[in-house]
Structure 1
């Protein structure tokens, strides 16, 4: 019965668009608590305080749900049709991480997981819970234990079939299921993902300091982008795909499949000038259903202004000036920096007037050149 159930679940998962399927014991990674605590002790989680707050539960599926016996891990290929790094040379275009060009992957996957979990519950009579990166569950090491691939030197799951482009989801269950063979780490001597990182965010292979990662800084970080990372940001306005895109295993990621996660055309190469003119309503309309919507218009415009400052395009100065009196300090500060980068003389002319009305210390520091 169990083998036939796994076969049925695997077939149904494939029909739902999951191209990777594996099972691990809920206790398959006893090493996780120590690794997690070491990363937190180093402060590598940055502003993501929830990682420390949930460390006891995050270290093991059974810490979160004691009844868990098995975890089914599923992967959905979202490999892009073109090289995302090609956009980095187009200074007037904003580069959005591949995963965010479609509608929110949480929404794409969660309903499918619930359907599959429902089938498991009906067939086994056991309890189930579904997770898509929204609870203290460490999907990547569990995916490794379940045989989907291995955590590469960039800490992302790498698959022999789909490279570094897998959305992950998990089903915890009280059912005892036969486990898959774990995948052996297969990076070899390759260090492309480490070498390409524009901010040296990897202290060592298989370790990530989020505080230096552009994906973290443009998405999770709430304050001003630290000065040392602004020019390395280039035109990356949401996320960073560099370490994923250079992985040699990506050559297999273009395998044809029935369900393809295509990016929305308007998010493939949006113009910075257009994005800089978005108000809150326009932002919500453009990014409806997108994970980008969650960061809010202020942090998004902060990112766009950094990209504009890096563009070298002086024609954008009037649009930058229009943001100098934005209600959100993080936007005003980024606008001050962008203006100083594009037109130092104009910034100098506006400096005293801006400082006379500015009350936010972070923005004052931007105008004063103290960053």
Structure 2
């Protein structure tokens, strides 16, 4: 199967799996990653012949959060409460299987097994054009805001990938910084 057919099949499978956002990024090293000695900086340290990072996002904004009895108690993130870390893994497993069935290597970025994702998913999502990093350090998508659970696959399939990152739209806005306790 040709590269374009594989990529189209990945898109169809992602839609079928309920994935809201799909992007493809080059699997080169994340040179701006703050942890300079971290293995996470370079996808090729996890998959030696890595060519593409497939990034998915699942919208979690519709979840109902628990009511907080006391407003001065700490709160946790919508993503953590959703349990979507593992659900995104389940949703991308068929994409990994598709790639493997086509003779490619595919490594799911599963943070539940390794104590953290094997790549910086937020930076990969930015590279894939899914969104930009806000001043609060979260990924912001034009369509879904900050309400995306991310997942990723590193593969040696040389797929077409995004060449232009999303423009950072925060500019002089400070709403998130001012709202943060």
Q: TM-score range by the shorter chain?
A: 0.7 to 0.9
Q: Tell me, which stretches of 5 or more residues in structure 1 are unaligned?
A: 38-54, 199-371
Partner of 2:81: 101
Partner of 1:137: 119
* Structure of greater Rg: 1
Q: How does 1:298-317 map to 2 (within 5 A)?
A: none
Tell me by how many angstroms 1:92 deviates: 7.6
Note if contact 1:29-1:145 (Cα within 8 Å) is conserved in structure 2: no
Moved over 4 A (4+): 92-96
Q: Give the counterpart of 2:97 among 118, 121, 124.
A: 118
Partner of 1:61: 43
Note if contact 2:29-2:41 (Cα within 8 Å) is conserved in structure 1: no
Partner of 1:26: 27
Partner of 2:13: 12
Measured in 2, the distance between the counterparts of 1:109 and 1:196 equals 29
Tell me by how many angstroms 1:28 deviates: 6.1
Measured in 2, the distance between the counterparts of 1:128 and 1:194 equals 38
Residues 196-242 of structure 1: per-residue CA shift (max 9 Å, x gap): 221xxxxxxxxxxxxxxxxxxxxxxxxxxxxxxxxxxxxxxxxxxxx
**Greater relative contact order structure (CA < 8 Å, 6+ sep):** 2
Measured in 2, the distance between the counterparts of 1:191 and 1:151 equals 13
1:166 and 2:148 matched:
yes
Measured in 2, the distance between the counterparts of 1:154 and 1:165 equals 14
Decide which structure has greater strand share. Answer: 2
TM-score w.r.t. length of structure 1: 0.43
Partner of 1:365: none
Note if contact 2:13-2:94 (Cα within 8 Å) is conserved in structure 1: no
Tell me by how many angstroms 1:76 deviates: 0.4
Measured in 2, the distance between the counterparts of 1:193 and 1:93 equals 19
Partner of 1:147: 129
Measured in 1, the distance between the counterparts of 2:142 and 2:12 equals 20
Q: Partner of 2:89: helix, strand, or coil?
A: helix
TM-score w.r.t. length of structure 2: 0.85
Decide which structure has greater helix share. Answer: 1
Q: Give the counterpart of 1:195 among 175, 178, 181.
A: 178
Note if contact 1:109-1:132 (Cα within 8 Å) is conserved in structure 2: no
Measured in 2, the distance between the counterparts of 1:189 and 1:63 equals 38
Note if contact 1:80-1:98 (Cα within 8 Å) is conserved in structure 2: no
Note if contact 2:89-2:110 (Cα within 8 Å) is conserved in structure 1: yes
